[in-house]
Structure 1
């Protein structure tokens, strides 16, 4: 079991991440949480975690400075930066400090679970504890395309990880995987029953629904559109309604009324 600390000045984020981690059924447990850097440093003197989730924006010391201190004192701690600031500069600095990953709040549950699977594999590799956990292996098997096509599986995995990129297009994917664009589209249709655009749209709308279902996040529709890869809020809303049968705001209110 991997021990986790969460550092965030927002109690809803600390509690939400704790809940998601517990529900993931992966070998992680939250053994400590802190509101700020000083509190976390005290916690780490009592018990060193395997994984540290750190918010960038905190009152006493930002997450990047905390990460520098942690890395200098606790070399094996694996850090994940979590922030509401979707800016490349923060991600770049985090990666330079050897952060394992960088996630932008709010985080869909499915994205967090995928990250935990990667963390589980990484922790096994550095702690010499054998192969992937049974949960991770099972999940990976379930995520394969029906006929097990390696290339299409890699492409869908890439889309699943990069869905928030507004410049994600079939042309870009074809070039990245050294495939003819027409051939790629045909293969996706044959193997998945969906075109590239249909698959990407389905992933994005699914992520949007996840975030709207998370009552702990009062996300604005414009921010939600950007979060899932759309630069135009009105286009996103029309697309969401065509797929779900109601606009994002109606879907959000429905969730609140059902609670």
Structure 2
């Protein structure tokens, strides 16, 4: 239904216009009436009027002033002047302001209907044109995103030469400068999960995960999320601080599990230059292949530890219960497949994460200890030095190993 607003200071005129035609049959809904120009301008925005009847002689703001304001604020609204004979000169002025038409009081029903029919033709044409423009914009936007994804996929998988990449990267708005984070994601099949879950069609699952990841990435115009090989998803984001990206990726994994009921394998790294991404992609892809070869229980145990390593009281029995297996059995599997005990593997993960936090000078030592699941800074320092040969403070002062 088109929305009609009637602005006239005479109640009799407003009432007569309301009763003049079978508005509903014409596809028009009278949404508001105003008795002065100022009120009409306010209501036009509130009701989102498509069509307005405007009297010239109104208090507070006359019809000419109202039309001038409408042109600026609501240019799509069609205005039809309702004018008295003695105001005809003003009506001519209004025509110069691009009003749709004007009618003289008293308004004749046949004349009113003719004007309304013409107005509806214009409104319907404008709406169809607008829909077509929106549809074309959507199609072009979708095509551009599809082409960009295809370009990025070919590039990271080595199907483009350096010359081809350099020629086309500007067109696809890959304006990366400095360090770039690469994330590679692979959803785990249902048989790797210890609970029942929804079975997703691969392309739909990829679409859902891309949406979640796109919302979590920093809102930068050059971030790119795209499909890689074999249901894998990749993401490129410029970074200045690795720790923040790690936290975003961890939150992404938890969100995918919470909202989609799917566990994912993720690997990420930071490239010094955008041109190094294909090389890093191959390394991460190899990690995914090796990880996928693990038994489902070990794969999910690793995933659980990598997600919840920050919990101080994380124990073998808790993880075994989550995996729905015996703790002794899980301990033997860890030793067989990873070559490490539960405690040693958990310590590895905690120290690896601690190293990333230590690279960020804004974190204090006690904060890093807490973030990595250690009850005290002293215990954290002892575990760190036992594994690396350096205390956390020595590592930070040296700027790495």
Q: Normalising by structure 2, report the TM-score.
A: 0.33
Q: Greater Rg, structure 1 or structure 2?
A: 2
Higher relative contact order (CA 8 A, sep 6+): 1
Q: Normalising by structure 1, report the TM-score.
A: 0.50
